[in-house]
Structure 1
Amino acid sequence: MRIGLRTIKTVIAATLAIIIANYLGLTYPSTAGIIAILSVTNSKKSSFKVGIGRIIALFVAIIIAYGCYQLLGYTPLAFGLYLLIYIPIAARADMSEAIPVNSVLITHFLNEKSMRPELVKNAILLLLVGVGLALIANLYMPNVRDDIKSSKEKVDTYIKLLLLKMSEAFDTTSITTDCQLICEGAAKSISQGEDYARRHLDNHLLASDGYEISYFQMRRVQLNVLEDMVKLMAHIEVEEEVSEEIKHLLVRIYETYGEENDGMSLKKDVEKVYKHYETKPLPKTREEFENRARLYQFLTEIQTFIDIKVDFRG
């Protein structure tokens, strides 16, 4: 059984939280450990958000609990009234994760039959120790830059292979099937890359650059266009002479494909192909016309594929 990094950090944070709470002479020190367990998350930003939210929510909880205990005494009914008021407020303030932790701290007042200042201080310190240790534990997060780079390379490889396959033939069923399998592989790599990119962004508290996420989203949009091209390709049946220019264009895109390519030169290549087809003789039969229309639509999809990258590079 493999023990993950989050598990190790949770164990360390919870253990240290209880030790520190004991050292400070706090009542109910194990609560600090439970708070630490519930506060260690998958990223720095989420851990920081959860921790700060719980601290703010605790002060709200203390105010509400004080009113309820003063009104009904230190009884289960008073605690029930506290929950009735506190839960909707915390949920509306997007602090639902604070409800169980802070409510446990509020039960300490119920057990002690008092809300003396030292007990209130005790509850605040328990929360600060637990949350603080969780935040410290989450200061270390594995670097996923290499994973992002690897995902980009996989996506690039899949898309380049797809372009090459489409350049080979439009009417070969086996190639069309191969293209569909390549699309599935590319989609999986894009999803994985987006996950790494989000994790990378969430682990930088002051970072606001979402380039990596935007990059994978751009590739996903391009892949959607390529999938439409694969479906269209299966229904195009034209002479090699007619499709030759588009084949050369696909090879050109394959050869120049990359993150740094802004796509501007490829846009000019597409315009040349459009002009080339304008000089071609008109179709003579309905079947030729329909196939030429599909070929023209295929070329339009290529232009869309390139425009997506051009717009992304801005």
Structure 2
Amino acid sequence: MKKFRIGYRTIKTAIGTALSIALAQYFGLEFFTSAGILTILCIQTTKKKSVHAVYTRFVASLIGMAFSFVAFELFGYNPIVLTVMILLFIPTIVIVGAAPGFVSSAVIMMHIYSEANFTLDLLYNELGLMAIGFGVALIVNMYMGDIQKTMDNYRIEIEELYRKIFSEIVEYLENGDTSWDGKELIDAENVLNKAKSLAFKDVENHLTRKENAYYLYFDMRERQLEIIERVLPKITALPVMVQQVELVANFMKDLADHVHSGNTARSFRDKLDIVKKEFAEMPLPESHEKFVAMASLYQFIEEMDQYLEIKQSFKGLKPIE
């Protein structure tokens, strides 16, 4: 059973609905409760979605009034005319990209139908309802809760998971410990999915911004996770332990101690170059099994170079205060 909670979107809907109805009633508009309905239909999860919602509903409502005037005044206010009008109206708003506004426009059209007399007063009344209903929705939707702290928490969580994964790799290389169940890999994927979704919502809450540093950061970490998942079998399937294991283990231990949001990838790629050079200077393997183990380790460090290259292309985030 889900926990009962009242989110800020629910609060905005309640306040916006009451405010719209109060304003419409104050100005003496007919069907004043419909202003609240129009507001409810426009409350969205992000600012960009809110602006788009108001736009599509406003356009659809204007088209709906035009259709209502022509259809009802020319052919009469009866259910058959209403049916034919809706059959023609829906494809029209689909063509102009205002299909999400159908319900809002239907509210306006039903007012006209119920009055059975399209007058200037009725036109002004409906325009007033639209102005209040859509306007209030737009205003209350300009407030969005601060998600900075949540994104920072995701950032800390994913970095801690990466440290744990690297530490488990070191544990295996140094001690041959195979008890790790890989839970952190699943956790990391889940955290990244939630984090990217939240970061995208933050982008949608800035009308002129198309991306943000957090979204780029979590996207970068997701691409790194793909590499980690790809290279793990190369480490966990070593037929024997060879001299090169110590080099790789020391490098991974150092990397695990320095997982953060800044950009130190260049220095670690330099360290990896040193590892590669020392790797190449070591004696050639004496057996097929050692050759396979050495090859797997070399493939591993090449993949880790790609891991660092992805990080190097990222500018980094400001430290968490």
Q: TM-score, normalised by structure 1?
A: 0.91
Rounded Cα–Cα distance in structure 1 between residues aligned with 2:273 and 2:95: 54
On the 8 A contact 2:242/2:290 being kept in 1, the answer is no
Name 2:268's counterpart in structure 1: 266
CA deviation digits over 1:68-107, x for unaligned, max 9? 3244322222222222222223234432220011112111
1:25-44 paired onto structure 2 within 5 Å:
25-44=28-47
On the 8 A contact 2:265/2:312 being kept in 1, the answer is yes
1:243 aligns with 2:248: no
The alpha carbon displacement at 1:126 in A equals: 0.9
CA deviation digits over 1:31-80, x for unaligned, max 9? 11111111112222211221122112222222233333244322222222
Shift in alpha-carbon separation, 1:92–1:280, aligned structure 2, 3 A: farther
- The aligned amino acid for 2:234 is L
Name 1:168's counterpart in structure 2: 171
On the 8 A contact 2:263/2:314 being kept in 1, the answer is no
CA deviation digits over 1:131-155, x for unaligned, max 9? 1111222232211111111110111
Rounded Cα–Cα distance in structure 2 between residues aligned with 1:166 and 1:130: 58
The alpha carbon displacement at 1:273 in A equals: 1.8
The alpha carbon displacement at 1:276 in A equals: 1.9
Rounded Cα–Cα distance in structure 2 between residues aligned with 1:34 and 1:58: 13
On the 8 A contact 2:166/2:252 being kept in 1, the answer is yes
- The aligned amino acid for 2:282 is K
Name 1:72's counterpart in structure 2: 75
1:75-94 paired onto structure 2 within 5 Å:
75-94=78-97
Rounded Cα–Cα distance in structure 1 between residues aligned with 2:130 and 2:149: 36
Rounded Cα–Cα distance in structure 1 between residues aligned with 2:234 and 2:27: 71
Corresponding residue to 1:109 among 108, 112, 121:
112
Gaps of 5+ in 2: 317-321
1:59-208 paired onto structure 2 within 5 Å:
59-170=62-173, 171-175=176-180, 177=181, 180-208=182-210
The alpha carbon displacement at 1:240 in A equals: 4.9
Rounded Cα–Cα distance in structure 1 between residues aligned with 2:19 and 2:313: 51
CA deviation digits over 1:241-284, x for unaligned, max 9? 22111111112222332211241111112222222222233333
On the 8 A contact 1:238/1:292 being kept in 2, the answer is no
| RMSD (Å), alpha carbons | 2.0
Name 2:284's counterpart in structure 1: 282
- The aligned amino acid for 1:214 is L
- The aligned amino acid for 2:183 is L
Rounded Cα–Cα distance in structure 2 between residues aligned with 1:59 and 1:291: 72
On the 8 A contact 2:220/2:311 being kept in 1, the answer is yes
Q: Percent same amino acid at aligned positions?
A: 26
Q: 2:35 aligns to what SS in structure 1?
A: helix
Gaps of 5+ in 1: none
Name 1:297's counterpart in structure 2: 299
The alpha carbon displacement at 1:191 in A equals: 2.1
Rounded Cα–Cα distance in structure 2 between residues aligned with 1:38 and 1:49: 12
**Bigger shift: 214-223 or 233-242?**
233-242
- The aligned amino acid for 1:267 is R
